[in-house]
Amino acid sequence: MQKETTYVFKKTRLFALPSFRNKVILASVICIVLPVIITLSIYNYLTKDAMKEQAISNANKELELAEEYVLKLLEDMLNITNFVQLNTELNAVLKEKAEQDDSSHQEYEQFLKDRTVMNTIENITLVGEKAQVTILLKNGKYYTNYSISDYNPLEIFQEEWFAQLDTKNGYESIWIDTAPTVFQSYQGTNPYQLSVARTLRNNNSEIYGYLVVTIFENTISQIFDNRLNDEEILLVNDENTILSHRDTDQIGKTFSYLNGLNKNETAIIDIENQHYLLTAKDISFNRWKLVSLVPYREAISNINSIFNKVFFLLLILFTIFFVILAYFINRITKPLVYLGSVVEKVQAGNLSVRSQIQTNDEIGRFSQSFDRMLDQINEMIKKTKATQARKRKAELAMLQAQINPHFLFNVLNSIRMKVFKHGDKESAKMISSLSKLLRMTIDTQKGMIPFAEEVSIVSDYVFLMNMRQKEKVSFITNITNESYQHTIPRFILQPIIENSIIHGLNQKAGTITLHALTTKDKFIVEIEDDGQGMVKEKLLEIQKNIKLLGDKKRHQNSFSSIGLSNVYERLVMTFGKEFEMKVDSSEGKGTRIILLIPEKGVGIDV
């Protein structure tokens, strides 16, 4: 009665609420209309800041691009000065020329040296923009890569900036602001020039000459011409005097709008009632700055256009949405109804039915997962039946296989007794130890054994190993009485002992000590040898890999083939994550392995 009442209540609520289709339509409309309304409300506020930030970012990127080209030109000038100063052969010739007088003999040899200097100057100016190079010695001797009919290099001594050169150290430079071109043949096409100058010094830091590298201003202004049409870029000095501009009439004028602007700052300024975006960047190795001036309206026009296009597209998509929504809702809800009927059949016990919905949406994936789940349930039922059948066969085979081990043990005991009767007690003991090991190996019924039995096994193992090698291993035990009562998985100590004999002692004489004690919450087992030990790198590798589950060498023909990693795995499976294994070793001092076994394990026999 209670069950029927509940059904009527749910059915009434179901018809009282809108249909699933109407719910989806209503939710879709709310999720679209509400964000649009909110977006329109805050559009004017947010877009102003966003457009300003984007305009500043674009202006900075454009200025950085121009800066790269300008820096390349200026760095080429510095590279020329560096080459002249650092070229040993060139400096040797120049120093010699600076110390010679006009009465020097060997004119042909001097001619060759002069030629060497001239060729060097020509070669270093072949790459990149053409630069005018002047090497001027204090004795009046000079070298240039231009014709002296264009300009007399000795006039450099009369320049206003020349006196500053003597105050500069070896690699310090003087950057000379834009000045009218002094080279007559270039004055028509290149009215202005920029220069950098350095001193040439000997080993005593005494000046023996001067170096001046000059480029024409229009090599820089051409870079500015390649920028956007509405962007104006100029080069100014620390006094805001224009050094380079695509309008040569502006060169030499003061750009006052930089006053009050912080280093590398961007600001919006007013010029003739029009807003401009002003950006400046300092050049790192001199007093000059690059300045970008962009009309603010032009800077944000592209961004504003994008926003308008996106908004218009949004309106179109919003309209189309209402047209196609009903169609898609119908297609979406139809598989749900069919899937519900399939679930009811499964609930009734029919595990062979399948939904077979192949759509790629969430409903299709859920349906396919449901079908796979039914397949897996049927497969698990089949596997369970097959496993039970195999288990019964294995139990029968195990009973049959026990005949051979018992026969083997009986034969070994017979051999041992005959050997013992003939007085060979050592061989009899060896056969007895081997018989115990074989019995423990074959007996799969014993998962957990007393610690005393495990100690007996490794004692027999050490005895057998001593019989097969010339030098004997001494096996010492230091075990408390209560430790013998603990149970551990069988063959836990034997792989560690074998590793000590073969690798630690290298199958030579030595001592292996087994300690065991019981604390309040731990059973501690320690195995140490006085063998060759390990280098630090090998120890770290073992400590890193000790927790790898399983041992890839499981099928080697030795009792220790289980390996340290498998010993660790079995003890973790038996005693849980509270179990710890520690390995400590020093080269030449032996190896120690400590097993920290919790008092209460998980009780799994492995």
107-124 vs 20-86: helix axis angle to the nearest 10? Answer: 170
Is pLDDT of 51 > 90? no
- Helix runs in 402-535, H state only: 403-421, 425-442, 451-468, 493-499
Report pLDDT for 407. Answer: 44
Q: What is the mean pLDDT of residues 35-51?
A: 72
Between 229 and 85, the higher pLDDT residue: 85
pLDDT at 212: 93
Distance of alpha carbon 399 from the chain centroid? 58
Which of 165-174, 293-302, 355-364, 392-401 is the most confident on average? 165-174
What is the spatial distance between Cα 488 and Cα 491, in angstroms, rounded to a whole number?
9
Answering whether pTM is above 0.75, one says no
Question: What mean pLDDT comes out for the span 491-512?
Answer: 87
Q: Could you tell me which residues come within 8 angstroms of residue 409 by beta carbon, excluding any fewer than 6 positions away?
A: 435, 438, 439
Which is higher by pLDDT, 69 or 387?
A: 69
Reported confidence tier of residue 475, pLDDT bands at 50, 70, 90? very high
- Of 46-60, 164-178, 182-196, least confident by mean pLDDT is 46-60
**pLDDT at res. 83:** 87
* pLDDT > 80? residue 511: yes
Which comes out higher in pLDDT, residue 533 or 333?
Answer: 533
Q: 272 vs 582, which has greater pLDDT?
A: 582
The stretch 217-244 carries a mean pLDDT of 84
Band of residue 29 on the pLDDT scale cut at 50, 70, 90 = confident
Q: Is 511 helix (H, G, I), strand (E, B) or coil?
A: strand
Distance, in Å, from the CA atom of 61 to the CA atom of 299, rounded to the nearest integer, reads: 12
pLDDT score, position 193: 93
pLDDT at site 198: 92
> How many whole angstroms separate alpha carbon 334 and alpha carbon 552?
54
| pLDDT reading at 535 higher than 70 | yes
| 3-class SS letters over 115-183 | HHHHHHHHHHCCCCCCCEEEEEECCCCEEECCCCCCCCHHHHHHCHHHHHHHHCCCCCCEEEEEEECCC
Query: Could you report the per-residue pLDDT of 124-142, keeping only the tens digit for each?
Result: 776 667 889 999 998 889 8
Strands lying side by side in the sheet with 274-282: 242-244, 232-236, 289-295, 274-282, 266-271
- Report the pLDDT value the prediction gives residue 12, as an integer from 0 to 100: 44
Q: What is the pLDDT of residue 595?
A: 94
What is the predicted pLDDT for the residue at 490?
83
Average pLDDT over residues 65-90: 87
User: What pLDDT is attached to residue 225?
Assistant: 80
**Mean pLDDT of all residues in 339-359:** 79
Residue 518 has pLDDT above 90, yes or no: yes
High-pLDDT (> 70) share of the chain, %: 78
pLDDT, greater one: 325 or 11: 325
Q: What is the pLDDT of residues 80-122, one digit of tens each?
A: 888 888 888 888 888 888 887 655 556 777 788 888 888 888 8
The predicted model gives 148-171 an average pLDDT of 88
Phi, psi of 183 (to 5 degrees): -90, 115
What is residue 6's predicted lDDT score, i.e. its pLDDT?
39
Evaluate whether 108 touches 92 at the Cβ level (below 8 Å). Answer: no
Q: With cut-offs at 50, 70 and 90, classify the pLDDT of residue 202.
A: confident
Residue range 474-482: mean pLDDT, rounded: 93
Q: Considering only residues 536 and 227, tell me which one the structure prediction assigns the higher pLDDT.
A: 536
What is the pLDDT, as a whole number, of residue 558?
Answer: 39
Strands 487-489 and 448-450: antiparallel
- In angstroms, the Cα distances linking 130 to 79, 190, 196, 199, 285 are 13, 12, 14, 22, 21
